[in-house]
């Protein structure tokens, strides 16, 4: 292994900056003469606005402008765009109501912007906002996902009858129905995959500047996808051409999906900056981010799994109602459809699958991607059903999985729900997890817990996901309104250092290190001589950003392709320098050699010759060593895992603790094992959080009651045991690096493993299902209900 190359567990290059407070986050940036925006937000989930009186606010000290919905219309702003269209099963397009950047006649969720005040200081803007009088005529709200389609549910958008955004299906209903007609057992569950808040450490923030002389707009913001942000805001909302619009996403303190979509605040800042010819900034308070960052999950599902007499899965049927919130955020329709139902085969050979998803509007905060985005919901229902099937058929949860897993020799494997799985050795991961977790010794630990008056449970989950979005042609045929390739530029500098420009974005994933390791490994340039630049539309040529665990397999592959071009050109330059024929020049780890001789030259010398072309084949070659490549994957890739959770429950109080957690993952080739481990750690903790703590609660009128960290529980260190991690390596055949995504798999597998363990612990009492989150109260209630039954 080359020092600092692929496979080296080097510490992250970016951490010196980030851990010593030297990062540059959006809020750290200051501009002379900047103005501050304050967003006045609706306190009602559903109300008609009869008047907005801004006269007092306009006269308040320091106020430069007060913007309202009609102003946005007058200035020709478009609504917030949606990046993915879904077609209902009757062939009609999804209902896509306009999402105005500032509410006009109606507000549809608590937190929706009703006016924006721009003032010389943040305090002046906030004080002036308090002087705005909005006359609301409040109305009943539609809040609960499962009840959104009921006849008497308040209507969210006039165009969405029954509050249905789309009614979509996938799979072969006839085949699935037939499997159920002939089933020996049917495992059926009603599940709620609860709404959770993404909670990046850094709140959203943005600064918009308008250079009047150049007619150029620059937006710095907390984003995960600078180019996509530019495209969506520029083309659909602001009518600002791309060559006159720069978006920069500097250091960003976590995203988890919620920082992918463009937001109304950013559109308002850009609009205000352009209108006023001044810099305008906004930094979200934790409280407003709680209700206006897009939320995640929020499904109500009825699902059932058919089995034959041998415990083989023969059919799966799923009916899901997915909550979109009040408006369609940029990728919301994609999540409960192609990122969800396409994963229903899980790791199994289930031959017949049918699903129907109704996406609904409610008077709640919009929902979009959150770590896993659809795939945690898929793994959760499949793996909960498998445990229920094990219970019904009297098989051990590991044994029933073993009987149904796709065998290693069956790849590539076509599932009945569209995806072609590339590679996998599922049973091997399962074997390692069984061994590492002490699955077979569980009974002894259970008895120990019993002796201490506690209930103990063990749960297995076999998560799978599709990462590396996406093959553009396939994505386009399924409704994507953009391509999903990635671009990379590898630029040698004259002195032999390298600058890499990639269209992805690093907000905790370690790209500055991982991408540099690719350069070090292939080109032999020391790690410290490589700089990775991301998140700037004026520097990286093009890109689609970081989400869906795509950066390495798509962006990294683009880097690899660009390096191939560097080597190809370098060989020609080296051949000239060594007076050899190009065919005889070989390249390995930073050195060009003439095969069969001891003649060699380093890539640094080649780079120098390329930029100081005194001795250079100028008649055949251009100067410079600077190459660009795009990579559009031919397929998704499919990371998978085998997870085992063990919980202990105090039956008197319902208090639950996750005692042990084992995760065996296969993410293909590993560039930096330490970063991979960190990503799995983060994902698993996120998943444990969903399983046992986190939940957004709205009251019946649509008021968010869990709107601060006093009322919304994030997992803390003492909620999580020391994790036992292991991995297998099944290289992905679909990209040159053989890698798969790793950022989300932990959050995909952990909820199912933990909840299977909870149900296992309570099984002696007759409990067969507990909804997330398994708080002490929920567990205690399940125990009481079981005892009363």
Q: Kindly list the residues in this chain that would bind other proteins in the complex (CB under 8 A).
A: 40-45, 110, 126, 129-130, 132, 287, 290-291, 699, 701, 703-705, 707-708, 710-711
Q: d(Cα 547, Cα 544) in Å, to the nearest integer?
A: 9
Take residue 739 and report the two structure tokens written for it: 């890698």
Minimum CB distance to other proteins, residue 282 (Å): 15
Rg of the chain over all Cα atoms, to the nearest angstrom: 27
Of 506 and 706, which has the nearer Cβ to other proteins?
706
**Nearest Cα residue to 549 out of 665, 718, 436:** 665
**Phi/psi of residue 472, nearest 5 degrees:** -60, -40
Minimum CB distance to other proteins, residue 57 (Å): 11
Locus of tokens 């959080």: 689
Minimum CB distance to other proteins, residue 110 (Å): 7
To 5 degrees, how large is the angle CA 256–CA 12–CA 487?
Answer: 60
Minimum CB distance to other proteins, residue 704 (Å): 5
Minimum CB distance to other proteins, residue 38 (Å): 9
Minimum CB distance to other proteins, residue 264 (Å): 17
Q: d(Cα 139, Cα 120) in Å, to the nearest integer?
A: 36
Of 134 and 373, which has the nearer Cβ to other proteins?
134
Of 42 and 517, which has the nearer Cβ to other proteins?
42
Minimum CB distance to other proteins, residue 323 (Å): 19
Of 449 and 706, which has the nearer Cβ to other proteins?
706
Q: d(Cα 124, Cα 112) in Å, to the nearest integer?
A: 21
Distances (CA, A) of 46 to 80, 106, 160, 535: 19, 7, 16, 37
List 119's β-bridge partners, or say none. Answer: 36, 63
Of 287 and 482, which has the nearer Cβ to other proteins?
287
Report helix, strand or coil for 217.
Answer: strand
Minimum CB distance to other proteins, residue 781 (Å): 20
Say what the alpha-carbon torsion angle 125, 126, 132, 135 is, to the nearest 10 degrees.
Answer: 140
To 5 degrees, how large is the angle CA 457–CA 458–CA 462?
Answer: 145
Of 129 and 316, which has the nearer Cβ to other proteins?
129
Minimum CB distance to other proteins, residue 41 (Å): 8
Minimum CB distance to other proteins, residue 336 (Å): 26
**Nearest Cα residue to 725 out of 666, 672, 656:** 666
Minimum CB distance to other proteins, residue 703 (Å): 4
**Nearest Cα residue to 262 out of 209, 199, 215, 328:** 328
Minimum CB distance to other proteins, residue 129 (Å): 6
Minimum CB distance to other proteins, residue 115 (Å): 11
Minimum CB distance to other proteins, residue 134 (Å): 9
Of 154 and 351, which has the nearer Cβ to other proteins?
154
Of 473 and 705, which has the nearer Cβ to other proteins?
705
Residues 6+ apart with CB under 8 A from 92: none
Q: d(Cα 17, Cα 13) in Å, to the nearest integer?
A: 8
Of 127 and 666, which has the nearer Cβ to other proteins?
127
Take residue 597 and report the two structure tokens written for it: 């001789």
Q: Where are the alpha helices (DSSP H) in 66-203?
A: 69-74, 122-129, 173-181
Sheet holding 216-221, edge to edge: 63-68, 113-119, 35-41, 280-283, 205-211, 216-221, 245-248
Of 19 and 705, which has the nearer Cβ to other proteins?
705
Q: d(Cα 438, Cα 254) in Å, to the nearest integer?
A: 34
Of 12 and 204, which has the nearer Cβ to other proteins?
204
341, 171 contact by CB (below 8 A): yes
Of 634 and 705, which has the nearer Cβ to other proteins?
705
Of 119 and 610, which has the nearer Cβ to other proteins?
119
* Per-residue DSSP letter, 235: I
202, 398 contact by CB (below 8 A): no
Of 291 and 748, which has the nearer Cβ to other proteins?
291
Report helix, strand or coil for 193.
Answer: strand
Q: What is the largest CA-CA distance in the chain?
A: 90
H/E element holding 300? strand 299-307
352, 176 contact by CB (below 8 A): yes
Q: d(Cα 386, Cα 459) in Å, to the nearest integer?
A: 11
């Amino acid at each position: 292994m080359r020092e600092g190359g692929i496979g080296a567990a080097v510490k992250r290059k970016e951490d010196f900056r980030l851990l010593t407070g030297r990062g540059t986050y959006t809020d750290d940036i200051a501009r002379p003469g900047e103005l501050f925006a304050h967003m006045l937000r609706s306190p009602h989930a559903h109300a008609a606005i009869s008047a907005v009186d801004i006269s007092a606010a306009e006269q308040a000290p320091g106020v430069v402008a007060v913007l309202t919905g009609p102003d946005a219309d007058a200035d020709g702003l478009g609504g917030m765009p949606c990046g993915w269209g879904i077609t209902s099963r009757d062939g009609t397009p999804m209902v896509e109501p306009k999402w105005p950047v500032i509410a006009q006649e109606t507000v549809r969720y608590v937190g929706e912007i009703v006016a924006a005040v721009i003032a010389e200081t943040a305090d002046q803007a906030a004080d002036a906002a308090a002087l705005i009088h909005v006359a609301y005529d409040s109305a009943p709200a539609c809040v609960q996902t499962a009840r959104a389609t009921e006849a008497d549910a308040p209507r969210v958008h006039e165009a969405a009858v029954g509050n249905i955004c789309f009614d979509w299906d996938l799979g072969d209903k006839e085949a699935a129905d037939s499997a159920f007609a002939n089933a020996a057992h049917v495992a059926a569950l009603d599940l709620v995959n609860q709404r959770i808040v993404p909670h990046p450490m850094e709140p959203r923030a943005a600064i918009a500047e308008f250079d009047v002389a150049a007619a150029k707009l620059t937006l710095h913001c907390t984003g995960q996808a600078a180019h996509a942000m530019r495209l969506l805001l520029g083309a659909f909302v602001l009518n600002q051409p791309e060559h006159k619009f720069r978006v920069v996403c500097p250091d960003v303190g976590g995203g988890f999906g919620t920082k992918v979509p463009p937001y109304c605040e950013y559109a308002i800042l850009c609009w205000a900056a352009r209108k006023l010819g001044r810099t305008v900034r906004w930094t979200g308070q934790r409280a407003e981010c709680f209700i206006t960052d897009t939320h995640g999950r929020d499904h109500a599902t009825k699902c059932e799994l058919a089995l034959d007499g041998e415990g083989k899965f023969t059919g799966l049927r799923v009916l899901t109602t997915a909550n979109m919130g009040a408006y369609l955020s940029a990728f919301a329709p994609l999540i409960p459809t192609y990122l969800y139902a396409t994963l229903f085969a899980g790791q199994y050979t289930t031959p017949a699958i049918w699903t129907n998803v109704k996406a609904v509007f409610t008077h709640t905060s919009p929902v979009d991607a959150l770590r896993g985005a659809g795939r945690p919901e898929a793994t959760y229902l499949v793996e909960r059903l498998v445990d229920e099937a094990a219970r019904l058929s009297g098989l051990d949860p590991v044994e029933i999985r073993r009987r149904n897993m796709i065998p290693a020799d069956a790849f590539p494997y076509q599932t009945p729900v569209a995806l072609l799985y590339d590679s996998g050795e599922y049973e091997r991961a399962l074997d390692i997890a069984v061994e590492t977790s002490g699955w077979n010794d569980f009974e002894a630990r259970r008895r120990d817990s019993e002796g201490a008056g506690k209930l103990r449970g063990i749960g297995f989950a076999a998560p799978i996901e599709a990462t590396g979005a996406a093959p553009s042609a396939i994505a386009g045929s399924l409704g994507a309104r953009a391509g999903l390739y990635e671009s990379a530029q590898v630029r040698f500098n004259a002195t032999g250092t390298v600058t890499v420009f990639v269209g992805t974005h690093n907000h905790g994933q370690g790209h500055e290190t991982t991408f540099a390791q690719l350069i070090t490994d292939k080109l032999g340039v020391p790690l410290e001589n490589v700089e990775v630049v991301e998140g700037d539309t004026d520097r990286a040529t093009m890109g689609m950003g970081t989400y869906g665990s795509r950066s390495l397999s798509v962006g990294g592959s683009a880097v690899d392709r660009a390096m191939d071009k560097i080597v190809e050109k370098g060989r020609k330059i080296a051949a000239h320098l060594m007076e050899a024929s190009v065919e005889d020049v070989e390249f390995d780890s930073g050195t060009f050699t003439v095969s069969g001789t001891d003649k060699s030259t380093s890539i640094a010398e080649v780079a120098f010759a390329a930029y100081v072309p005194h001795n250079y084949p100028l008649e055949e070659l251009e100067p410079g060593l600077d190459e660009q490549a795009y990579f559009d994957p031919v397929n998704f890739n499919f990371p998978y895992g085998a997870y085992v959770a063990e919980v202990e429950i105090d039956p008197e109080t319902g208090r639950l603790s996750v005692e042990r957690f084992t995760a065996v993952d296969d993410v293909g080739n590993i560039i930096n094992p330490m970063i991979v481990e960190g990503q799995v750690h983060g994902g698993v903790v996120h998943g444990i959080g969903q399983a046992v703590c986190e939940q957004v609660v709205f009251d019946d009128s649509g008021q968010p009651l869990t709107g601060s960290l006093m009322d919304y529980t994030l997992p803390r260190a003492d909620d999580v045991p020391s994790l036992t991690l292991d991995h297998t390596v099944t290289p992905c055949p679909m990209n040159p690096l053989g890698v798969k995504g790793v950022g989300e798999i932990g959050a995909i597998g952990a909820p199912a493993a933990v909840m299977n363990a909870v149900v296992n612990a309570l099984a002696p009492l007759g409990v067969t299902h507990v909804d997330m989150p398994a708080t002490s109260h929920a567990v205690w209630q399940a125990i009481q209900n079981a005892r009363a039954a």
